Amino acid sequence: MSGFIKVVDTPFAAKSNAAGQVRVAGLAAGTAQVTIWHPQMKAKDNEQLILVSVPGSGSVAKSATVALRAGR
């Protein structure tokens, strides 16, 4: 058994659901930097940064694809 704890300095953090989806509310309009983390991600520090344009009202959806290393 293993577990992971990711400590972040923001109130806008969330864990994805079983489908890999996350909902974050309360973001200000503009460009948000979203960091995706996965313990098996093929990336520096297991992270990938994406930019999301956040409208002044309404909602926005953004998809990202990540490459993972083979599991144990």
Average pLDDT over residues 40-53: 96
The structure tokens 């990336």 sit at 43
Q: What pLDDT was estimated at residue 27? A: 93
Question: Cα separation of 46 and 67, whole Å?
Answer: 10
Under DSSP, the state recorded for 68 is B
Sequence-separated (6 or more) residues with CB below 8 Å from residue 36? 47, 48, 49, 50, 64, 66
12, pLDDT greater than 80: yes
In angstroms, rounded to a whole number, what is the distance separating the alpha carbons of residues 24 and 29? Answer: 13
Indicate yes or no: pTM above 0.75.
Answer: yes
Note the residue count of the chain.
Answer: 72
